[in-house]
Structure 1
Amino acid sequence: MKARYKYRFYPTDQQQESLAQLFGCVRVVWNDALASCQSDKYPGYNRLSKALTQSKKTEERRWLKDVSSVPLQQSLKQLDTAFKNFFDSLKGKRKGKKVSQPKFKKKTKRQAATFTKAAFSVKGDVVYLAKIGDLKPIWSRKLPATPSSVTVIKDCANRYFLSFVVEGKPTNIEAESQSIGIDLGLKTFAVMSDGEKVKSPDYSKLDRRIRQRQRQLARQQKGSKRRNKTRLRIAKLHNKIADTRLDFLHKLSTQVVSENQTIVLEDLNVSGMVKNRRLARAISQQGWREFRTLCEAKSEKFGRDFRVINRWEPTSQVCSECGFKWGKLDLSVRSVLCLSCETEQDRDENAARNIETVGMGHRHDLKRTGSDCKTSSEASCWEPSRITEASAGVSMSINQYLWSWDFRYL
């Protein structure tokens, strides 16, 4: 099992110039190889590598010899992998969303260069890179083993990182609970089946500042120094939100995986949800998919069982106590009074318990014997227990509901 360990470092002025030259060469090699693939069929890695060797002998690309050849070859290998994923996606061999064709790299975007074992070494607290020199990262934690490769990263906010690939070993930690179901949401990020609720950090202030800077950026002239300063300020604000979210997701996923033997999540259609223009920004800031990826990776590390149930399971339409189906509810309805067992259920907690039940191999309708009810799109007027008060969160009694019904429509 491979894992990544990322550390920040602060290069000197001379190292910044060397790294800028390296990033430029890696970007040119990628763009030249991709441009040659636009007109003809994809030639493959071997032919691209030979073309790179020939281009170093020309006057136009002679300066490619000033940097290490390992990151340049790794750039071609990454391009080869990108094309392989693209072709597999077209043929249906690759699961998930369709992978787009590789794109050209820009100078203002994230820059990266990968070194293998032949071009770097770690001696004590110093990392040596070929034709770059010694770098001193901030070691927030020790490397568990000798790294097989390292990637030098410069993000949009001009921050520098070293990302090591290390072969990790599974960790055995005894779990406190047997299983847990998690229902993800907007106002409350995660509602556990045991009743625990976790709220995500508030990004509204930073998001407001980003919008102000983006309006300022739109009015500035392209290529000007002030526009570049505004772009860096926007990138720093975006990084602050991303770092805050990633820190929150790492802590929550570690807590969930370390305390439970089986983790059950729901397969959410996030790509379809973000098409709602009113909720797209809020949904994108939550990081549901990233949380699922972290839980899955850490479950493999700690030896846990990670499960995902079908997105079409009616987890919000079924009582978790008796299995009675009350049908589809509006999002404003936060609590439901079950007609069968007369239990008042919180919408999110009920969904989390149903997610755990289905994930552990049980079915909703097996709990309630003799039930012929089917999930309906709307609650029927003859089943008053399906409707609750949305604002106060207190369920209405049957008599109150019947008196409030307009009998003209019966």
Structure 2
Amino acid sequence: MLRAYKFRLYPTKPQRESFMKTFGCVRFVYNKMLEERIRLYEESKLNPDAKQKLPTPAKYKPEFPFLKEVDSLSLANAQMDLNKAYANFFRDKSVGFPKFKSKHSDRASYTTNNQNGNVRIEDGKVKLPKIGFVKFKQHRSFEGIIKSATISMTKTGKFFVSILVNQGEEKWIPAKNKIGIDLGLEHFAIMTNDDMVSEKIDNPRFLRKSEEKVEKAQRALSRKKIGSKNREKAKLILAKKHEKIANQRKDFLHKLSKQIVDENQVIVVETLKSKNMMKNHKVAKSIGDVSWYEFVRQLEYKCKFYGRTLIKADQWFASTQICSSCGEKGQKKTMDVREWTCTCGAHHDRDINASINLLMLAD
């Protein structure tokens, strides 16, 4: 089984410059290959019988010798990323056509492969091709064969390495419990287990709590002259505010999802189309802050790691409308109805009733 471990890097100034150069070269090659692919596609429409040879990173090295200074595997992986983006587009048009990478808006990163031990850990440092040994904080150990390493940089200038490790077959520890999880805005999650014990997890609202500080930083940035050093400083302050919120949210989601996976063998969660729901501007910010998609994504991969079963309820399953006692689906209830009584006499909390109905799908 492949697992990734992410660690903070502490590169020297020359190493930082090498990382930045590699980020730029990978972005440059990706855009060049995408540009040529678009041209070849246009030509093939004019002449369908023409045999087109797809571009590779090696094609650009004679014309742009600076590409020879960086890790060749990082450029090869950029080609693989482009191939994957194309395959995804032709598989599902809703994914969108591959886009050109931007220095300012896209994530700065590159991936290199481990060949003959050129990616390894020694004496508190990680060895990377063309870079050498880089100091890093290994906060947890792992066993297995290193397959690849992805180096990335945040908007605040912090460097990280994500090491992909082949650990063979996972030894799973089975659990007996089942749980149904209803997601919401007032409470982040409403959970009911097979003992019919319900628990409501408060929505932490990290963005809402820091909104005033973020807006203050945004106003300060807007007042700075474009291209000035003060603007760069203000941009960094704003990026740190957003990074803190993202880290708080990520920490909350990881801890909650890990706890659920540790304690339960079967997990049922409702399917929510966040993208569609965010078209409602009244709740768009709250939905973006709560991050349901990321929570379900974490549950999904952790269930695979630990041998759990994750059931995603159909998006049309009316978990909030059905009585969990008698199964009757009554009149549709609007969002402001938080409690209701069924014709069978059962009185329900809307969210707890939904989590019980989801739990029933585990049987």
Structure 1 counterpart of 2:68, from 58, 65, 81:
65
Pair 1:360 & 2:362 matched: yes
- Give the structure-1-normalised TM-score: 0.80
CA 1:239–1:46: 2 relative to 1, 3 Å: farther
CA 1:167–1:337: 2 relative to 1, 3 Å: same
CA distance in 2, matches of 1:215, 1:54: 46
Matches within 5 A, 1:282-301: 282-301=286-305
Pair 1:348 & 2:351 matched: yes
Matches within 5 A, 1:191-270: 191-193=190-192, 194-203=197-206, 204-270=208-274
Which residue is 1:186 aligned to? 185
CA distance in 2, matches of 1:163, 1:45: 36
CA distance in 2, matches of 1:130, 1:172: 35
Query: Is this contact kept in 1: 2:119–2:146, CA < 8 A?
Result: no
Which residue is 2:10 aligned to? 10
CA 1:45–1:170: 2 relative to 1, 3 Å: farther
Query: Is this contact kept in 2: 1:6–1:161, CA < 8 A?
Result: yes
Which residue is 1:111 aligned to? 108
Q: Deviations over 1:246-284 (max 9, x none)?
A: 111111111111111110011112111100101001101
Which residue is 1:127 aligned to? 126
Pair 1:79 & 2:86 matched: no
Which residue is 1:145 aligned to? 144
Q: Deviations over 1:314-356 (max 9, x none)?
A: 211122112233321222221112231x232111101100111
The alpha carbon displacement at 1:176 in A equals: 4.4
Query: Is this contact kept in 2: 1:45–1:77, CA < 8 A?
Result: no
Q: Which residue identity lines up with residue 360 of structure 1 in the other structure? A: A
Q: Which residue identity lines up with residue 11 of structure 1 in the other structure? A: P
Structure 1 counterpart of 2:58, from 53, 66, 83:
53
CA 1:170–1:207: 2 relative to 1, 3 Å: farther
Which residue is 1:35 aligned to? 35
- Give the structure-2-normalised TM-score: 0.89
Question: Is there any run of 5+ residues in structure 2 with no aligned partner, and where?
Answer: 45-50
CA distance in 1, matches of 2:305, 2:6: 18
Query: Is this contact kept in 2: 1:31–1:105, CA < 8 A?
Result: yes
Q: Which has the greater radius of gyration? A: 1
CA distance in 1, matches of 2:182, 2:135: 43
Higher relative contact order (Cα pairs below 8 Å, separated by 6+ residues): 2
Which residue is 1:160 aligned to? 159
The alpha carbon displacement at 1:195 in A equals: 0.8
CA distance in 1, matches of 2:59, 2:296: 45
Q: Which residue identity lines up with residue 334 of structure 2 in the other structure? A: D
CA distance in 1, matches of 2:39, 2:54: 15
Which residue is 1:173 aligned to? 173
Moved more, 200-209 or 236-245: 200-209
Q: Which residue identity lines up with residue 275 of structure 2 in the other structure? A: S
CA 1:102–1:71: 2 relative to 1, 3 Å: same
Query: Is this contact kept in 1: 2:153–2:160, CA < 8 A?
Result: yes
Structure number with the higher strand fraction is 2
Pair 1:102 & 2:98 matched: yes
Which residue is 2:282 aligned to? 278
The alpha carbon displacement at 1:46 in A equals: 6.9
The alpha carbon displacement at 1:216 in A equals: 3.3
The alpha carbon displacement at 1:30 in A equals: 1.3
Cα RMSD (Å): 2.1
CA 1:107–1:326: 2 relative to 1, 3 Å: same
